[in-house]
Amino acid sequence: MLSFKNKLKKSIEDKSSNLCVGIDIDKNHFSSDVKLQDLKEYSLKVVDSTREFAAAYKPNLAFFEEWGSEGLVWLEELIQEIGNEHIIIADAKRGDIGNSAKHYANAFFNHFNCDAITVNPYMGADSIEPFCSNPEKGVYVLCVTSNPSASKIQDDSFKNVIDLTNNTNQNKNVGLVVGATKMEKMEEVRALSKLPFLIPGIGAQGGDLENTIKINEQFIESTLINVSRSIIFADDISAAAREFLEKMRGCVEG
C-alpha cells in the first residue's frame, strides 16, 4: 500500500491538479422541502462532474451528521462513489484525547475508508497522535483558519501548532490547514513549515489564488487548494471546476 505522502503526491501528479473539491451540501441552498435523497443525488452529480479535475474531495461532516444515521449512510455511499483514485479527506475537525481519538481514527480510516482527516489541536499532542500511527492515512491539523474571529486565538498559538505537528510527524503523514484569506499568516506558516498544506478560503470566501500558489510554489506537489461553494453550486459544475483548474495551472506555470 502507498503511504499517504506518496498517494497525495501521485494524485496531484496524475490529475495535474491541486484542486480539492469540498462537498458541503448545505440543505439551505435548496428549496425548503428538499429531501435527503435529493441531496444524495446532487452530491453524486458533484463527484461525477468534477472527477477529471479534482485531486481530492473533502466531505464536510456537518452536512451529513445533521441527518443522523441516514446521513452517515449517505457519506458511506458518497465515499464509495468517489472510489480509490482520489484523496478523500474527512472534514471532521475531531479533537479528543487518548482512547476516544483512537475510536475516531478507527471510524474514519477503517470504517469510512477516508485517506485523511482534519483535526483540532487544542487538546495537544494527545489529540493528534492516535490519528498519525498509520503512515497510509493522513492528518491535517488546523493551524490558521479563514473565519474572521480565529485570530483572537490563532495569532498567538499557530507557532505552537507548527511545533506540535513537527513533533508528531514521525510517519510523514501530517499536514496543516492554512486559510487563504490571510496571506501574511500563510507566508509566516510556510516559512516555518515544509508540511503539506490543505488550503480553504479560495472561491466564495475571496482568497487570492495567485498569491497562494506563489507562497507554496516550492511545495506544490503536496499542496491541496479546497474550493466548495463556487464549484459545487455553480450552474455548470463541470465548467466551474475546469475553469478553476485552468486558472490554477496558469498560476503554477507562470
By C-alpha distance, which of 88, 119, 76, 113 is closest to 11?
A: 88
What is the average per-residue pLDDT within 208-234? 96
CA distance 199 to 145: 9
Long-range contacts of 48-51, Cβ-Cβ distance < 8 Å, separation of 24 or more: 49/237, 49/238, 49/241, 50/19, 50/21, 50/231, 50/237, 50/238, 50/241, 51/86
In this prediction, residue 27 has a pLDDT band, given cuts at 50, 70 and 90, of very high
What is the average per-residue pLDDT within 59-79? 98
Angle at 72 between CA 71 and CA 75, to 5 degrees: 90
The predicted structure's pLDDT at residue 123 = 94
Task: Find out if CATH 3.30.70.2190 is the number for domain 4-253.
Answer: no
Task: Print burial letters for 132-168: b (CB count within 10 Å at least 16), e (below 16).
Answer: bebbebbbbbbbbbbeeebeeebeeebeebbebbeeb
Beta-carbon count within 10 A of 169 CB: 18
What is the average per-residue pLDDT within 42-56? 98
The predicted structure's pLDDT at residue 40 = 98
- Is residue 245's pLDDT more than 70? yes
- Is residue 203's pLDDT more than 80? no
Which one is catalytic: 93, 102, 172, 247?
A: 93
Round the average pLDDT of the chain to a whole number and report it.
Answer: 95
Please write the tens of the pLDDT for every residue from 116-153. Answer: 999 999 999 999 999 999 999 999 999 999 888 988 88
What does the domain layout of the chain look like in residue ranges?
4-253
Residue, of 146 and 52, whose pLDDT is higher: 52
Q: How many residues does the chain have?
A: 254
- Is residue 235's pLDDT more than 70? yes
The predicted structure's pLDDT at residue 106 = 97
The predicted structure's pLDDT at residue 185 = 92
93 included as an active-site residue: yes
- Is residue 204's pLDDT more than 70? no
- Is residue 194's pLDDT more than 70? yes
What is the average per-residue pLDDT within 50-77? 98
The predicted structure's pLDDT at residue 86 = 98
Please write the tens of the pLDDT for every residue from 71-124. Answer: 999 999 999 999 999 999 999 999 998 899 999 999 999 999 999 999 999 999
User: Which residue in the block uniquely carries the three cell numbers 497522535?
Assistant: 129
Cα 30 to the chain's mean position, in Å? Answer: 24
Q: With pLDDT > 70 as the criterion, what percentage of the chain qualifies?
A: 99
Three-class HEC string of 62-126: HHHHCCCHHHHHHHHHHHHHHCCCCEEEEEEEECCCHHHHHHHHHHHHHHCCCCEEEECCCCCHH
